[in-house]
A and B are shown apart, each in its own frame.
Chain A
Amino acid sequence: MERTEALLIDHLREGDETALAPLVEKYKRMVHRLAMQITKNHEDANDVMQETFIKVHQSIHTFRQEAAFETWIYRITVNEALNFVKRRERRREIPLATTEEAEFHPDVRHKFDIANDPQIQAEKAELRHWVTKAVNSLSLKHRIVVILHELEGLTHAEIASILNCSEGTVRSRLHYAWKQLRNLLKPYVDATKDL
Chain B
Amino acid sequence: MKLTCTNIQRFISDYIDGALSSRDAANIEKHLRFCSACRREVVAFRKTRDLIVDFYVEPEASENYFHQFEVELHRCIDNKGPIHFDQRIRTTAAQFIWMFATQVRQSFSKYSLLRQNALPLCALILLIVTGFVVPHLLNQPPSAPPVVFLDDIDSGKLGTSSELGQGSYSERRADRKSPSTVSSPTSTANVENVDYWKLTEPVTNDTEAYIIVMHVSKDDTVPGDAADSDLTVFSRPDILGSQPLLQDDDYATLPLDLDLHDAPIYEKYQLKYRKLSGFVGHLMHVPSKLLTIPEPYDISKL
Interface residues of A (CB under 8 A from B): 15, 17, 20-21, 24-25, 28-29, 32-33, 36-37, 45-46, 49-50, 53-54, 57-58, 61, 124, 127-128, 131-132, 134-135, 146, 149-151, 155-156, 171-172, 174-175, 178, 181-182, 185, 188-189, 192, 194-195
- B48 touching A185, Cβ below 8 Å: yes
Min CB distance B57 to A, Å, is: 5
B76 in contact with A54 (CB, 8 Å): yes
Determine the distance from Cα of A17 to Cα of B76 in the docked complex, in whole angstroms.
Answer: 13
Which residue of the partner chain, among A15, A28, A124, A155, contacts B69 with CB atoms under 8 Å?
A: A28
User: Is the Cβ of A181 less than 8 Å from the Cβ of B52?
Assistant: yes
A151 touches B53 (CB 8 A): yes
CB-based closest 10 A-B pairs: A36-B59, A131-B55, A132-B57, A182-B48, A189-B47, A128-B55, A127-B55, A61-B91, A128-B57, A131-B56
Residue in contact with A185 in the complex, picked from B9, B51, B61, CB distance below 8 Å:
B51
Q: Report how far A150 CA is from B60 CA in the complex, Å.
A: 17
Chain B 10-34: CB-based contact to A (< 8 A → 1; otherwise 0): 1011100001000000000000000
Residue numbers in B under 8 Å from A174 (CB-CB): 13
Q: Which residues, 68 to 104 on B, are CB-close (under 8 Å) to A?
A: 69-70, 72-74, 76-77, 80, 82-83, 88, 91, 95
B38-46, B163-171, B240-248, B277-285 - the one binding chain A? B38-46
* Residue contact B13 to A171, C-beta cutoff 8 Å: yes
B49: interface (CB < 8 Å): yes
Indicate if the CB atoms of A15 and B13 lie closer than 8 Å: no
* Interface size of B in residues (CB-CB distance below 8 Å): 38
Q: Are A150 and B51 in contact (CB under 8 A)?
A: no
Give the secondary structure class of A's interface.
Answer: helix
Does B58 contact A33, Cβ atoms closer than 8 Å?
Answer: yes
Nearest B residue (CB) for A149: B13
Instruction: State the Cβ distance, A66 to closest chain B Cβ, in Å.
Output: 15
B48 touches A189 (CB 8 A): yes
A195 CA / B51 CA spacing, docked (Å): 12
**What separation, in Å, do the CA atoms of A151 and B59 have in the docked complex?**
12
Name 29 interchain pairs, CB-CB below 8 A, sorted by A: A15-B82, A15-B88, A17-B77, A32-B59, A33-B58, A36-B59, A37-B58, A49-B73, A53-B73, A54-B76, A54-B77, A61-B91, A128-B55, A128-B57, A131-B55, A131-B57, A135-B56, A150-B52, A150-B53, A175-B9, A175-B10, A178-B49, A181-B48, A181-B52, A182-B45, A189-B51, A192-B47, A194-B43, A195-B50
Chain B window 215-232, contacts with chain A (Cβ cutoff 8 Å), 1 for yes, 0 for no: 000000000000000000
* Residues of chain A contacted by B45 (CB below 8 angstroms): 178, 182
